[in-house]
Amino acid sequence: MKILILLITTILGNFALLAQREIVPTDSIKVFGKIKEAKTFSLAELDTFSKIAIPEQIIYNHKGEIKDTLKIMKGIPLKKLLSSIEFVYDKPKALNEFYFIFTATDNYKVVFSWNEIYNTDSGNNFFIITEMGGKKLKDLDQRIYFVSAADLKSGRRYIKGLEKIEVKQLE
């Protein structure tokens, strides 16, 4: 009987491990898609951007429960990072159809519209984190983080292990 319990426990434990997604530390962010030229920002390149202090952020889940508190942060405004990207479109009106898919190494995805990033105050509060809790980017556990400092329930758009940003246009 003990062997059977041990076997069942082992099997169920293995299934639980398979169900969890692992966040692998990222060493770069690749931006690609509906742009003139794909671009990859390495940790060293991210370190060359000017950084601004970001106020302490309490991370809430979708139920409004506190999940984490991010302290002593600096980051690159997302718009600053994307300023070297040239979008491919015929008329400026087409930018209304653009959206961005942010993907982490565990395949967690968050979608933003072009207007949300470039045409709202929220867009001024989107950051790639370069320092947190006194640690530099290269020393952070999952390295490249993204935070929306203006969200009420920020956990849905708090990304750990950000590895790529795909630019798409509605069809």
Residue 58 in any domain: the answer is yes
- What total number of domains does the chain contain? 1
Query: Measuring CA to CA, which residue among 154, 160, 140 is closest to residue 58?
Result: 154
Asked if 88 contacts 35 with a C-beta cutoff of 8 angstroms, the reply is yes
Contact between residue 143 and residue 161 where contact means Cβ atoms under 8 Å apart? yes
Q: What is the pTM of this model?
A: 0.82
The answer to whether residue 13 is domain-embedded is no
Low-confidence stretches of the chain (pLDDT beneath 50): 1-20
* Residue 16: inside a domain: no
User: Contact at 8 Å (CB) between 124 and 111?
Assistant: no
Q: Is residue 17 part of a domain?
A: no
Q: How far is it, in rounded angstroms, from Cα 171 to Cα 161?
A: 29
What does the pLDDT read at residue 82?
A: 97
**pLDDT on residue 40:** 97
Rounded distance, CA 104 to CA 23, Å?
Answer: 7
C-alpha 2/C-alpha 14 separation (Å) is 18
Asked whether residue 18 is assigned to any structural domain, the reply reads: no
- Determine, yes or no, domain membership for 9: no
Q: What pLDDT score was predicted for residue 4?
A: 38
Is the CB of residue 141 less than 8 Å from the CB of residue 84? Answer: no
Check if the beta carbon of residue 29 is closer than 8 Å to that of residue 41. Answer: yes
Torsion over CA: 127, 132, 134, 136 (sign):
negative
- Considering the domain boundaries, does residue 70 fall inside one? yes
Query: How confident is the model at residue 96, as a pLDDT?
Result: 96
The domain spanning residue 93 has which CATH number?
A: 3.90.420.10
Q: Is residue 82 part of a domain?
A: yes
pLDDT at position 21 = 61
Question: Whose CA is closest to 97, among 74, 113, 85?
Answer: 113
Residue found by looking up tokens 């429960």 in the block: 65
Range of the domain at 96: 23-169
